[in-house]
Amino acid sequence: MIKITSLKEEFCNRFGCDGFVYAAPGRINLIGEHTDYNGGFVLPGAVEQSIVAVIKPNGSKRVNAYACDMQMQYGFDIDDPTGPEPVHARYVYGVVREMMSAGVKVEGFDVVYGGDVPLGAGMSSSAALECCFAMAMNEIFKGGLDRMTLARIGQATEHKYIGVKCGIMDQFASMHGRRGALMRLDCRNGEFEYFPWKPVGYRLVLVNSCVKHELVGSPYNERRESCERVAELAGVETLRDCTWEQLDALKLRLSETDYRRARYVLGEADRVRNVCDAMQCGDFEAIGEQMYLTHEGLSKDYEVSCDEIDFLVEVARQCGVTGSRIMGGGFGGCTVNLVKDEMYDNFVSTAVQAYKTRFGIDCTIIPVVIGDGARRILD
Ligand code: GLA
């Protein structure tokens, strides 16, 4: 758990002792990967790992920020049309500018922030950062925007200021999370419902490979472009509306790569449906089976896995883990594993040891606790 007292102390030393405290979490996703920007369904939940900000308006037009984890101090004027260059600063600048475009009367503020969402792990540390600031500014400057609008502001920040054409899943989950519940979101119309997550006899655990092969957002954006090309040829708005028959009819007009990517997306839509059915009757074995299939699709068809992650999924399979797959955008990060209680200890120690032997890297084990969404933290 992140140490809020040390962030408050840092704020106190730099800016005075009366800041407001806001937090927004990272997320896991049970299933429904790369479906959000295709208008499909996702099944995420917020986690306890969060970004926390201590923040206070300063009566000027300037933002003075200190990012504790990077020991990085930076500032910008809210009216500056270009903003700061460091990527990390651009997240905060982007949220400020998007809030202003949405009509919120943002003013300057002082802020100290930090968190315990591992970076590059596929747990959406950047969405947590965006949502934490969007939530704080909305309340402090009385923006009156609802949570979905704030989530979209986070997404727009990724698109316009970072260059990652992400879907809405991460920011949605960070904003709407609820302790003990996953959420099924229809990414086409924003409707969602909470699903209590009580996997009696099983637990979810992340294994963080601690590798990240993607340097910028481009491989992610390329996947999205493939999907959009296929949707256009099929004459539908997004792949959500493309049937297997339509896809097969198009096969000869598509590049091999585009065809495989679209095939993954259609398959994943089926798997999300299967998992929702399995959840209704508590069939965790069926859920696990779909998770392995998702991994196969993400690895072979969508090509967003890597050797390290494929290895961790294979170790899970050999240990008898119920379900295992790469989580999030891909190219490294975590596997999400559905494990029977009695197999947990053996799986964790085997994975740590085998991974170290094979790659010389210590992976980290992150037990999943489904937590609440973005909020103000009162003393
Ligand atoms: C990243 C993006 C999300 C989503 C996932 C893949 O986390 O930010 O919008 O597309 O990848 O499911």
pLDDT tens-place string over residues 333-355 = 999 999 999 999 999 999 999 99
pLDDT tens-place string over residues 309-318 = 999 999 999 9
Averaged confidence pLDDT in the chain: 97
Per the residue annotation, which of 170, 186, 310, 345 is the catalytic one?
A: 170
* 170 in catalytic set: yes
pLDDT tens-place string over residues 75-101 = 999 999 999 999 999 999 999 999 999
Total-model pTM: 0.97
pLDDT tens-place string over residues 122-143 = 999 999 999 999 999 999 999 9
pLDDT tens-place string over residues 296-306 = 999 999 999 99
> What is residue 201's DSSP assignment?
T
d(CA 27, CA 136): 19
Distances (CA, A) of 148 to 18, 33, 153: 29, 20, 9
Ligand 1 atom 11 nearest Cα: 329
pLDDT above 70 for 197: yes
Whether ligand 1 lies within 6 angstroms of the CB of 108 is answered as no
pLDDT above 70 for 266: yes
Residue 208 one-letter amino acid: N
Do the beta carbons of residue 191 and residue 113 sit within 8 Å? no
In the chain, where the domains are located: 4-196+371-377
d(CA 134, CA 132): 6
Separation of 355 CA from ligand 1 center, angstroms?
25
pLDDT tens-place string over residues 165-193 = 999 999 999 999 999 999 999 999 999 99
d(CA 77, CA 91): 14
pLDDT tens-place string over residues 205-226 = 999 999 998 766 789 999 999 9
DSSP string, 317-337: HHTT-SEEEE-SS-SEEEEEE
CATH topology (fold) of 4-196+371-377? Ribosomal Protein S5; domain 2 (3.30.230)
Q: Is the dihedral of CA 100, 103, 108, 109 positive or negative?
A: negative
